[in-house]
């Protein structure tokens, strides 16, 4: 189980870094803003499902080896559910209504949550790699 925890955490970390720092930036550089926005809107639900699945597997499989790592990963699961089910629809609504200030606030919160997920996964990787 320990190996599954380590690999699924690494998968979540790598996927989140790739999506946040490479994919999204590439899409906005390669496509017109309106098209890029529509593509990102369609991709985000899948990204969140990926984070949910990999972090849930990591949380469950790390519990016997490191309860602290498991709790951090479980917090990633909970905050990803919030981001996917509450925050993402609110961001989309703000975009559709042209509520730029609300969009900026919600988007900043979304970015901070993703950065926290990356930092949390990195911390867990370091903890698990020292066992």
Is the separation of the CB atoms in 36 and 25 below 8 Å? Answer: no
Q: What is the pLDDT of residue 11?
A: 98
What is the tens place of the pLDDT at every residue in 5-60?
999 999 999 999 999 999 999 999 999 999 999 999 999 999 999 999 999 999 99
Residue 80's pLDDT is: 98
Task: Report the pLDDT averaged over residues 94-99.
Answer: 97
Residue 131 pLDDT > 90, yes or no?
Answer: no
Contact between 76 and 55 under an 8 Å Cβ cutoff? The reply is yes
- State the pLDDT confidence band at 1, using cuts at 50, 70 and 90: confident
Q: Is 122 exposed, middle or buried (0-12, 13-18, 19+ CB in 10 A)?
A: middle
Which position has the token pair 């790390």? 62
pLDDT for 69: 98
Q: Is 127's pLDDT higher than 90?
A: yes
């Amino acid at each position: 189980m320990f190996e599954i925890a380590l690999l699924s955490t690494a998968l979540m970390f790598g996927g989140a870094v790739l999506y946040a720092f490479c994919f999204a930036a590439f899409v906005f550089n390669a496509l017109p803003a309106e098209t890029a926005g529509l593509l990102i809107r369609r991709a985000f639900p899948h990204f969140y499902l990926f984070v949910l699945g990999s972090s849930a597997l990591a949380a469950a499989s790390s519990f016997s080896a490191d309860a602290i790592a498991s709790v951090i990963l479980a917090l990633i699961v909970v905050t990803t559910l919030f981001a996917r089910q509450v925050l993402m629809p609110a961001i989309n609504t703000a975009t559709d209504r042209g509520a730029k200030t609300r969009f900026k606030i919600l988007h900043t919160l979304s970015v901070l949550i993703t950065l926290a997920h990356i930092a949390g996964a990195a911390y867990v990787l370091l903890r698990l790699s020292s066992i």
